[in-house]
Structure 1
Amino acid sequence: MTITLAQARSILDAALTHARAQDAQPLAIVILDAGAHPVAFAREDGASLFRFDIARAKASGALGLGADTRVIATRAVANPAFFQSVVAVTGGQLALSPGGVIIRDSEWRLIGAVGTSGDTGDIDEACAIAGITAAGLTHGAAS
């Protein structure tokens, strides 16, 4: 099972609505399916040049390591050499900052990930979670 275009667009729209309600800096948001293929993407007016790349690295890193990027960033503090190696061997497909969030369906199956970039990691992550929740999906790594 993987995320549908309709679900991805719902996440995208709700995440952007949440961002505007929080007066966030301009964001880029990408939703990837379970195979890390882009399903939906938006870059708000004024978002800087690398925001898409960072958002995608957050989403693909979450998928690749099976955890939200907040968790991965915390783990990286204790083992920086390993995580720098992961970034290198994956060609930069991991960003060590909150905002990459695993997407799960109602049966807790992994169906994709969202990556958000443009504001602080906390705000990026909050926008991603707001989008996932508004789409009627859930988030997070397996227990």
Structure 2
Amino acid sequence: MTELNLEACRRIVQAALAKGVAIGCAPMSAAVLDAGGNVIAFERADDTPPGRFEVARAKAYGAVMLHKGGRAQEALAEARPQVATALGGAFDGKFFPLKGGVLVRNAAGRVLGAVGVTGDSPDNDEACAVAGVEAVEGLVAEP
């Protein structure tokens, strides 16, 4: 796959939410963004707070804008909190530096977009995001 299309993004979201159910997570939300930071797909499970859209989008947005997954963003925020604060301002608040923001790359390593998942612990959010990306042949997740 060379680009993210709507069908692939829907599969990512559905697989991410299904992983959350399978591992016993709280209700999850997932957003998929293209390489320009535009939302292609979003879903939230029943009984999920509406604010989860912004969190899922922000996790993915930071990943795609920095070409760094949530793990690397979290490390940056811990090591250099002033930079994380500045990025939050530069990205109009769409920056949530925790696990659960995962880059989507093609087999050649090119960034196609990112996935943001939220609703449970950062580790579970990340596991669900990775499962979503890995559900689509030819895509590579970078947490």
Q: CA deviation at 1:2?
A: 3.0
Tell me, yes or no, if the aligned pair for 1:2 and 1:34 is still in contact at 8 Å.
no
C-alpha separation in 1, matches of 2:54 and 2:114: 15
TM-score (norm 1): 0.94
| Pairwise CA RMSD | 1.2
Shift of 1:47: 0.9
Q: Which residue of 2 aligns with 1:27?
A: 28
Query: 2: distance between equivalents of 1:29 and 1:48?
Result: 13
SS in 2 for 1:41: strand
TM normalised by structure 2 equals 0.94
Q: State the 4+ residue runs in structure 1 displaced beyond 6 angstroms.
A: none
Q: Which residue of 1 aligns with 2:140?
A: 138
**Does residue 122 in structure 1 map to residue 117 in structure 2?**
no
Alignment match, 1:50: 51
Q: Helix, strand or coil: the match of 2:32? A: strand
CA deviation vs aligned residue, 1:7-54 (integer Å, no higher than 9, x gap): 111111111111100111111100001111111110111111311000
Distance 1:38 1:59 in 2: 9
- Quick one: percent identity of the two aligned structures? 37
Consecutive unaligned residues in structure 2, runs of 5 or more: none
- Structure-2 separation of matches of 1:5 and 1:91: 26
> 1:61 aligned to 2:62?
yes
Query: In the alignment, what sits opposite 2:71?
Result: 70
CA distance in 2, matches of 1:125, 1:3: 20
Residue pair 2:17, 2:29 contacting (<8 A) in 1 also: no
Unaligned runs of 5+ in 1: none
Q: Counterpart of 1:103?
A: 104
